[in-house]
Structure 1
Amino acid sequence: MAPLKLVFLAITASVAVAFTPSTSRVQKVTSSTQLYEDFGFDFAEQTYENQPDLLKGEQEYKQYMNIVKEDNMLNKKYNAIGRVRELELLQATIDNGLLSKLEKNGLDLKTIEQLLPLLEQYGLLSVAANNQQLIVNLAAPLLIEGAPILLPVVAGALDIGPTAFFAAAAALAGADYALFANNVNIPFVGLSAGFYLGLLLVPLSAVLAGAGIALGSLKK
């Protein structure tokens, strides 16, 4: 049995050596991932070699536009605080008794303090911090410019309670359903009113329903 074992070990060793790569035969091939805009052609040119430094990259381009024209659309920001002051929204909030009505429905400062850790826990504050430009230039104008009309409506809904928000949500959802059921099209363009208006009506309905649920859970 001993000779058979020796033969088996010799065969195993020879097979292992055969499949082991030799350092003399294996060559390291380095791959280059560097890209060139001229694609290697002599007659082409690199953009960065002839482009002004101020136009290299989005951030530098924005800074360059500020030098050329300070009031430019590229860097223009919505003046939220200025518009709040011009529209006298703080006074309108007081006149409509919005804060007292929120407190009546259970949303007081103590409740807000309890909600802040939850907002951070679910990452909502971080999302808002990372999308400041979008919030300032998109969400803020919609809320602030429409506030003179919305504040009395919201105040009236708070007087009624969560039922008003549920009713408004049902009305919007029902309106979208009616548009679909009657195959209503948007005039002049012929697009489906149920689909395209639903992109606004359905999310707004969900927000109102969520507000009703939140108020119902907060009410003492």
Structure 2
Amino acid sequence: MAPLSSLLTAAALATATTAGVTSAFSTGSSSSIASRPTTKLYENFGFDFAEDQVENTPQIILGEANYKKWVNSVDPNNMLNRQYPVLSRVRELGLLEKTAELGVLSKLEKQGLTLQKAEELLPLLEELGLLSLVANNQQLLINGVAPLAIEGAPLLLPLVAGALDIGPAAFYLGAAGAAGLDAYLFASGAEVPFLGLSAGAVAGLLLIPLSVVLAVVGGAIGNLKN
């Protein structure tokens, strides 16, 4: 009987030890999980004073994915699916005819941008990731950038043609002018009416990227003949 009682005692001790370890592990895991910061996102940004979107928003349109699905079910031809008509607007505005009348292509050739040079630039553009960037953001470019470029083309084409007659210096001058105008607006302390925002900050959203683009184009045209 002594060996049997010893075995039972050892089994009881092992069971108690296992239960204690399991309890301690569970308690430690629960406390670590409870103390771990949550990564769940809320449309009210987690602020206590903000409205609860769950209470004020129907579940069918709660969240971007649900909202898009609901809009598509209501009107398949909605703004989320609509695409800017690039080709039809180019035809309606007569941009190809104006480009030919202004001799933009021939002026580009005089500056060194021939078809052979354009073919040589394609591998470089791919190495820089620009072609992949365009391919992965077609919807954004078509609905965001194309309308600005195409609708403003009737006014921009004569300026571009004149700048190509002069050469890179015209683009550098335009870049300096855009940056200088933004600096003047900052220095003058002018504000946008009814908004109370700095005119330099608001105009800089357009002028600074414009100055960068003009400087890059000027540098690219200057290097075409090299």
Same fold flag (TM > 0.5)? yes
Give the gaps of 5 or more residues in structure 2.
1-17, 34-39, 41-58
**Cα distance, 1:67 vs structure 2:** 4.4
Q: Which amino acid aligns with 2:176?
A: A
State how many pairs are aligned: 183
Q: 1:26 to 1:103 in 2, by over 3 A?
A: farther
**Cα distance, 1:70 vs structure 2:** 3.2
Match of 1:155 among 142, 152, 161: 161
Q: Distance in 2 between matches of 1:180 and 1:202?
A: 12
Q: Which amino acid aligns with 1:154?
A: V
Q: Distance in 2 between matches of 1:68 and 1:203?
A: 38
Q: Distance in 2 between matches of 1:118 and 1:63?
A: 40
RMSD across aligned positions (CA):
2.9
Native 8 Å contact 1:172 1:201 kept in 2: yes
- Is 1:120 aligned to 2:119, yes or no? no
Amino-acid identity (%): 57
Q: Distance in 2 between matches of 1:135 and 1:172?
A: 23
Q: Distance in 1 between matches of 2:159 and 2:222?
A: 18
Q: Distance in 2 between matches of 1:65 and 1:82?
A: 26
Match of 1:94 in 2: 100
Q: SS at 1:191's partner residue?
A: coil
- Structure 1 segments of 4 or more deviating over 3 A? 24-32, 55-67
Q: Render the CA deviation track for 1:13-65: whole Å, top value 9, x for unaligned.
A: xxxxxxxxxxx898798999xx9xxxxxxxxxxxxxxx78xx79866864654
Q: Render the CA deviation track for 1:141-192: whole Å, top value 9, x for unaligned.
A: 0000001111111001101111111111111111111112221211222211
Match of 2:174 in 1: 168
Q: SS at 2:76's partner residue?
A: coil
Give the gaps of 5 or more residues in structure 1.
1-23, 36-50
**Cα distance, 1:109 vs structure 2:** 0.7
TM-score, normalised with respect to structure 2:
0.70
**Cα distance, 1:214 vs structure 2:** 0.8
Match of 1:180 among 141, 166, 186: 186
Q: Which amino acid aligns with 1:205?
A: S
Q: SS at 2:152's partner residue?
A: helix
TM-score, normalised with respect to structure 1:
0.72
Task: Looking at secondary structure, tell me which structure has more helix per residue.
Answer: 2
Match of 2:111 in 1: 105
Q: Which amino acid aligns with 2:151?
A: E
Q: 1:58 to 1:194 in 2, by over 3 A?
A: closer
